[in-house]
Amino acid sequence: MTTSMNPSSRPQSASAAPDTCLSLENVSISYGNGKNVAVNNVFMEIPKGKVTAFIGPSGCGKSTVLRALNRMNDLIEGCGLTGRVLFDGQDLYDKRVDPVEVRRRIGMVFQKPNPFPKSIYENIAFGARINGFQGDMDELVETSLRKAALWDEAKDKLKESGFSLSGGQQQRLCIARTIAVEPEVILMDEPCSALDPISTLKIEETMHELKKTFTIVIVTHNMQQATRVSDLTGFFNVTNMPDYEGKVGCLEEFGETERIFNSPAQQATQDYVSGRFG
Amino acid sequence: MYWPNGLSVVSAFVTLEPDMTTSSFSASNQRLGDAAKSSLHRRPNLPRNRWNALFTLLAALFAAIVVLPLVLVLVYVVIKGGSMMSLKMLTELPPAPGMTGGGIGNAILGTLVVSLVAALIAIPVGVGGGIYLAEYSKSGAFASFVRFGTNVLSGVPSIICGVFIYGLIVATRIFFDQSYSAMAGGMALSVLMLPTIIKTTDEGLKLVPQELRWGAIGVGASKFVTITSITLPTAMKPIATGIVLSIARASGETAPLIFTALFSPFWPEGLFSPIASMSVLIYNFAIMPYDVQIALAWATSFVLVMMILVMNIFARYLGSLNRN
């Protein structure tokens, strides 16, 4: 983790290889053993230490792409991927790669808060313990909860069940749980879609803290959220593909958030970010 | 009956009723209209209300018939057997035919031993099979075959399980040249327990939300760790309930034990010798021409029924426990 976290202070240039964390090369993903193409020909370079947001209408494959980044799609039967996903220069879909190892270094927070049916303390200790954590567990739990901005609310009830927390707190617990494993990247799949505005705000504040240490990729339906938290934005859209029935997702445009929202190159992006469709 | 104001209306209705044929129905309804239409009170003589009362009565009757055997069996067993309960009864050996005194200590111990052997075999195999079905099999042909086989096995008569183990273990004298043994009895009961345990494990695991598995896998847990430390503990309640119920069912079985564990009038001598059990004791003693033995059979029935009752209540308690 320490070696891969070289803090780069120089200005971000899209093609600067050393700063690239995840790079997608011509990625296409399909379900049902290739019958339904979900997303087609995605090229993307996700830089280190930044927040990258995926936006786009429903069914455009942004969650599918996100799940491809730590091989969560392996759990879906009949899901296939072509192209290459490079993480620090290594192909994640190489035959020799262990998906469990991938997920330890690229953590994930899900749409619905899903704390384990254990105490708050154990929820966080679980991931660290199975990853062979040797140090002071109390300290790790505290720092993880602090980073997820949950410490003040949870410090007096660490022994209570994770379900005793509110929805927004549960989601922050899930973030703390992910942080405790000390991944390099955190993927978030619509982490605030089940939460109220105040919890959403807290999670966004958490993200601002987290991007100092982690690379974050977030899928969101909320464009204001994308403008608030992200440095880069990828706009996914659905299109018709030649010689294929039905709609297919594709990456329409990818660039700095400010540019995507203020002066997008594509008409479709302009229409979407100005709320004309989607 | 609770409508004092409606009574007058009802009596008026009843007097009208004899000439209320199908043809004159609308006419009488018309006449009735002025008196009763405005009233919202219940009129018990309306056909729908009469049918309603009839079917309510029938349902109550059948419900009573359903509960009656349970109540009668319990009461009868408690009266006949419960009155003889004493420490001596629970701790002593049964007397030889023609003698008096004694107890059923060896049969109680035997039932516990045989049930324990059965549980030790059936729990790992059954829970393991259930885990395979719910977590590993990708709903392929093999998994559906196993599920189908489990359903068939749960319908197989218990005596067939006994004969199966008889042929496999007892007749072949596979264990240290012993024929009938506690081990064989336990194995026969474990065959009976398997389908219940497999099914409750399978279904209990399927109830665990998918997000929980993702959460564990998302923090880098392997499949094995996910199952052992997240999925299985979450589904512990239905699995434990199923295990207790299957033990309760198997411990009262007679037929599989007659062929396998046989019986013994002495204290258990080990896992590889014939062993007494409560169900077989009842079977043997109830038809003997001695009053002492018949009384012992009643006492055993009481102990057995109470044991199964307690286990069922325990299973319900397990089922009501809150997940923490």
Whole-structure pTM value: 0.73
Query: In the prediction, which pLDDT does B199 show?
Result: 92
Cα–Cα distance measured from residue A178 to residue A162, given in angstroms and rounded to the nearest whole number: 14
Task: With beta carbons under 8 A apart, name residues in chain B contacting A103.
Answer: 217-220
The predicted pLDDT at position A278 comes to: 57
The domains of chain B are located at 6-79, 90-320
Interacting residues of B291 by C-beta distance below 8 A, sequence separation 6+: none
**CA–CA distance, B270 with B65 (Å, rounded to integer):** 45
A vs B, Cβ pairs < 8 A, gives 71
A127 and chain B in contact, CB less than 8 A? yes
**pLDDT tens, A186-204?**
899 888 887 788 888 888 8
Domains (range + CATH), chain A: 19-97+106-114+185-273 (3.40.50.300)
Give the closest-approach CA distance of B195 to chain A in angstroms. Answer: 28
Option in A112, A130, A161 nearest B220 (CB) = A130
The partner residue sitting opposite B215, judged by closest CB among A101, A104, A116, is A116
Q: Over 90: is that where the pLDDT of B58 sits?
A: yes
Phi, psi of A197, deg, nearest 5: -60, -35
A31 beta partners: A36
Does the CB of B214 have a partner CB in chain A at under 8 Å?
A: yes
DSSP string, B98-111: T------HHHHHHH
Whether A116 sits inside 8 A of B230 (CB atoms) is yes
pLDDT band at residue A12 using 50, 70 and 90 as cut-offs: very low
ipTM for the whole complex: 0.76
Does B225 reach chain A within 8 Å, measured CB to CB?
yes
CB pair distance less than 8 Å for A109 and B218: yes
Percent helix, strand and coil across chain A, each rounded to 5?
A: 35, 25, 35
Of the partner residues A100, A109, A117, the one whose CB lies closest to the CB of residue B323: A117
Main-chain dihedrals φ then ψ at residue A8, nearest 5 degrees: -105, 115
The more confidently predicted of residues B56 and B45 is B56
The verdict on a CB contact (< 8 Å) between B217 and A75 is: yes
Q: Report pLDDT for B90.
A: 79
Predicted pLDDT of residue A195: 79
Contact A130 B215 (CB under 8 A): no
Query: Does the CB of B90 have a partner CB in chain A at under 8 Å?
Result: no
Task: Specify the long-range contacts of residues B282-285, CB closer than 8 Å, at least 24 apart.
Answer: B282/B254, B283/B254, B283/B258, B285/B94
Chain B residues within an 8 Å CB radius of A71: none
- A223-277, pLDDT tens digit by residue? 888 888 888 888 888 887 766 677 788 888 888 888 888 888 888 888 888 877 6
Binary contact (A72, B217; C-beta < 8 A)? yes
Q: What is the pLDDT of residue A175?
A: 87
> Most B CBs within 10 Å: which of A108, A165, A189, as the mutation test of the B interface?
A108
A-facing residues of B in 129-168 (CB < 8 A) are: 138
For the domain made up of B90-320, the CATH class stated in words is: mainly alpha
Per-residue tokens: A195: 């939460």
User: What pLDDT was estimated at residue B124?
Assistant: 94
**Residue A129 at interface with chain B, using a CB cutoff of 8 Å:** no
* 3 state SS of A256: strand
Phi, psi of B218 (to 5 degrees): -70, -25
pLDDT reported for residue A10: 39
Yes or no: say if A91 and A55 are a contact pair by the CB < 8 Å rule: no
- Give the Cα separation of B72 and B234 in Å (integer): 39
Residues near B174 by beta carbon (within 8 Å), at least 6 away in sequence: B168
Work out the pLDDT band at B324, boundaries 50, 70, 90.
very low
Do A174 and A127 contact (CB within 8 A), yes or no? no
User: pLDDT category, A218, cuts 50, 70, 90?
Assistant: very high
Whether residue A21 is predicted with pLDDT greater than 50 in this model: the reply is yes
Cβ–Cβ gap B216/A174 under 8 Å: no
Beta carbons of A174 and A167 less than 8 angstroms apart? no
Query: Which pLDDT tens digit goes with each residue over B200-232?
Result: 999 999 888 888 888 888 888 888 889 988 898
